[in-house]
Amino acid sequence: MKNIKRVLIGVDLSDYSKETIESALTLTKGVEREFLILNVINVQDIEATPLEKSEVPKEDNVEKYITTTRVARLLKIEQMLEEYFPANRDKIKIIFRVGNPYKKILETVEEENVDLVVIASKGRSNLIGTLHGSTAENVFRHSPVPVLCVRRGATARPETADRNR
């Protein structure tokens, strides 16, 4: 496996996001890395959102939704980083994409020359995701780089980290 310099952390702002970030930072502790936090505004969310009295989404309404959603999510991510990971903030770049989450993760891997992807095994679930396969599963199947999947409550325990030094 090649040297890991750039780590993509996929977050959807579910309850799993903090643990996903924590796992990525803990795994690479003591090694100089650049972290990219990626949040994807799912097109299915846009299509399912009632957009001001019209049945057909108008471009202005879609752009307004994307802008509003991006600003709200940026604030949440910044708050999470400030509260839980202030010492690492200067190493973390936040990226937003709009589209299908797993496809946007894979596109970002290529565009940003990512060496490792860290994602949660479960996030915001919906019926369509269940029917068509999870984001994590699709990233695993198609990623050109290694993928670390974080399970809830599976972050490194301090005694384990100390033993591995």
pLDDT tens sequence across 41-74? 998 877 765 555 454 456 678 888 899 999 999 9
User: Do the domain assignments include residue 108?
Assistant: yes
pLDDT tens-place string over residues 87-142? 999 999 999 999 999 999 999 999 999 999 999 886 555 444 443 458 888 999 99
Helix axes 17-27, 59-84, angle to 10 degrees: 50
The pLDDT value recorded for residue 162 is 45
What is the number of domains present in the chain? 1
**DSSP string computed for 113-153:** T-SEEEEES--S--HHHHHH--HHHHHHHH-SS-EEEEPTT
User: Do the domain assignments include residue 91?
Assistant: yes
Higher pLDDT, 31 or 157: 31
User: Do the domain assignments include residue 141?
Assistant: yes
Distance, in Å, from the CA atom of 117 to the CA atom of 35, rounded to the nearest integer, reads 10
User: Do the domain assignments include residue 1?
Assistant: no
User: Do the domain assignments include residue 59?
Assistant: yes
Q: What is the CATH number for 68?
A: 3.40.50.620
User: Do the domain assignments include residue 60?
Assistant: yes
3-state helix, strand, coil in the chain (%, to 5): 50, 20, 30
Is the pLDDT at 150 greater than 60? The verdict is: yes
The residue segments making up the domain with residue 144 are: 6-163
User: Do the domain assignments include residue 90?
Assistant: yes
The pLDDT value recorded for residue 134 is 85
